[in-house]
Amino acid sequence: MKLQTSQGQALRTSRPAVRGLPALSRRPVRVSAIAAPEKQSTPASLNGTSNWQPTSWRSKPVVQQPEYLDKQEVVKACEEIARMPPLIFAGECRTLQSRLAKASTGDAFVLFGGDCAEAFSQFSANRIRDLYRLLLQMSIVLAFGGGVPIVKLGRIAGQFAKPRSASTETIGGVTLPAYRGDIINGPEFTEEARRCDPWRLVRAYNQSAATLNLLRGFSYGGYAGLSRVSQWELEFMKNTPEGHAYMDIAKRVDEAIQFMIACGMDTNMPFMRETEFYTCHECLLLDYEEALTRLDSTTDKWYGCSAHFLWCGERTRQLDHAHVEFLRGVNNPIGVKVSDKMDPNDIVSLIASVNPSNTPGRLSIIVRMGAKALRAKLPALIEAVQRSGQVVTWVCDPMHGNTETVSGFKTRRYENIRSEIEAFFDVHEKMGTVPGGVHLEMTGDNVTECIGGGASISEDDLNSRYHTHCDPRLNAEQSLEIAFYVAQRLRQRRENLAAKTA
């Protein structure tokens, strides 16, 4: 979050009436935005969104939505959120899009990371700080090894809702609605907890706002300054191999900074004191997303103001369905997750639908297949996109294709996660294309949810510190180990390109 206020930029909170919702007040509420507005805007007609409204998704088939018993309470909760300030700002989204455009050409690399699903019960300043600190550590490792800027996106301040493979869950002969994330219902296996409560939407908004407030403070207030690199170490990581390797890099960064200071560098320059940090989550719960969609008065475009970056999941990416229709109209940078089920012709059609103007940085394709399937299926997808002339940022999600159940626990094996990242880099190297980023479910907590890695977590360790409300996450040690491997591949890629140029 580059906290540079631009003059005259605002977001209007007015929006048209929603089916079943009364029209909100059209009196504009001006909110100062962040980052410079774009100098020229593309007319909505050229983007294919001239007739689009935040309510347009309601005319399409929709899946993975909660079944609320009291529809009027949903109306009231959404009205309250729609009256609230936006969580993020249009200018920030445009800045992020420019960063993602660089990642599509290899001039930057994207790091997505955070919880599978945020939880109300685990909300604390310390947990936010530890995840933020881990992402900073990983970005330093990647930048130092890869020699490119790292675009940091946290799965935080909005990653509450989760798609489910079944609408119900049965335990001991009792069947109840599935847990869909704290923004919808509770994880406890009781009838009361599993009831969909629309006022959880408001609680999720409030927690997201508080989280963003802290993240902005970290990003702007000096905590993320390069002079503090050696102070970002997590306490429980100090005696681990990854912790020692990180501190070695931190020491070298400190030495480089001291050298630059001796050469006359001003330590008050923004890049020394601040960092850009963005938020992202799956665009799943469309009532919530619609309530936070605002019109930017600078460009007269709609933005989803619940997060800087929104993505469409594997279960909701149907071309003629509601989620794609919603993402088609917002001007945030967006992503689409695809598995080995994606057909090359379909991916071209999907890209053309959500990015008809072929804007660099607008769309990231996040592949989640498992290593074997990725080696077999990804080349055809890349070839189809290349042949069509479409510009995307390719990102690897090595988590969701590698989930299994061991001793009654959902888990993932570190070796499989790394193997999929390896396959991702190998395929792009072979095809001469750009590996643009990695998308991890991870935490700054010292958990035991994924097996293996330098942490040497075994199957017997799973019940020790298994705290996730949904899917298993890499802990800090495993996450840093992944970062060192990715940094190695980025360095290797840079050296290969230099050799070809020479």
368 is in an annotated binding site: yes
Determine the distance from the C-alpha atom of residue 369 to the mean position of all C-alpha atoms in its chain, rounded to a whole number.
18
Is residue 257 scored above 80 in pLDDT?
no
Give the range of the structural domain holding residue 490, as residue numbers without chain letter.
11-38+46-224+274-501
pLDDT for 14: 43
What pLDDT does residue 408 have? Answer: 83
Check whether 228 has a pLDDT greater than 70. Answer: no
Q: Is residue 61 domain-resident?
A: yes
pLDDT range class, residue 39, cuts 50, 70, 90? very low
Residue 3's pLDDT is: 37
Of 123 and 453, which is predicted with more confidence?
123
User: 22 pLDDT exceeds 70?
Assistant: no
The average pLDDT across 135-162 equals 94
CA distances from 239 to 91, 242, 251, 487 (A): 42, 9, 16, 22
The larger pLDDT score, comparing residue 33 to residue 258, is at 258
Band (pLDDT 50/70/90 cuts) for residue 75 is very high
Residue 110 has pLDDT above 70, yes or no: yes
461 pLDDT above the threshold of 90: no
Report pLDDT for 469: 73
The answer to whether position 367 is within a domain reads yes
> Is the pLDDT assigned to residue 34 strictly greater than 60?
no
Lowest mean pLDDT among 69-78, 104-113, 295-304, 446-455: 446-455
**Does 314 belong to an annotated binding site?**
yes
How much is the pLDDT for 1?
A: 41
Distances (CA, A) of 82 to 65, 89, 361, 370: 19, 15, 28, 39
Q: Check the annotation: does 155 bind a ligand.
A: yes
Check the annotation: does 494 bind a ligand: no
| CA–CA dist 382, 375 (Å, integer) | 12
Whether 230 is covered by a domain: the verdict is no
The pLDDT value given to residue 161? 96
Q: Within a domain: residue 369? A: yes
User: Residue 11: is its pLDDT beyond 60?
Assistant: no
SS3 47: helix
The band of 433, judged by pLDDT with boundaries at 50, 70 and 90, is very high
Confidence of residue 404 (pLDDT cuts 50, 70, 90): confident
Q: Taking the C-alpha atoms of 76, 80, 81 and 82 in order, what is their torsion angle to the nearest 10 degrees? A: 100
**361: in domain:** yes
Compute the average pLDDT of residues 185-210.
97
- 441 in a known ligand binding site: yes
Residue 1 lies in a domain: no
Q: Please say if the pLDDT value at position 445 is more than 70.
A: yes
Provide Rg for the chain, Cα atoms.
Answer: 22
Q: pLDDT at residue 238 above 80?
A: no
Q: Does a structural domain hold residue 51?
A: yes
CATH number for position 439: 3.20.20.70
> Is residue 255 over pLDDT 90?
no
> Is position 94 annotated in a ligand binding site?
no
179 vs 37, more confident: 179
How much is the pTM? 0.87
d(CA 489, CA 6): 38
471 is in an annotated binding site: yes
Number of domains observed in the structure of the chain:
1
Q: What would the mean pLDDT of 54-67 be, rounded to a whole number? A: 96
Contact between 468 and 411 under an 8 Å Cβ cutoff? The reply is no
Top pLDDT among 494 and 468 is at 494
pLDDT band for position 191 (50/70/90)?
A: very high
Q: In this structure, is residue 426 part of a structural domain?
A: yes
* pLDDT on residue 59: 96
pLDDT in tens, 470-483: 789 999 889 999 99
294: Cα within 13 Å, side-chain hemisphere: 32
Which pLDDT does position 272 carry in this prediction? 60
Residue 444, C-beta contacts closer than 8 angstroms, at least 6 positions apart: 127, 129, 130, 131, 132, 133, 134, 234, 476
Q: Give the residue-averaged pLDDT of 413-432.
A: 97
pLDDT at 410: 87
Give percent of the chain with pLDDT exceeding 70. 84
* Cα first-last separation, the chain: 37
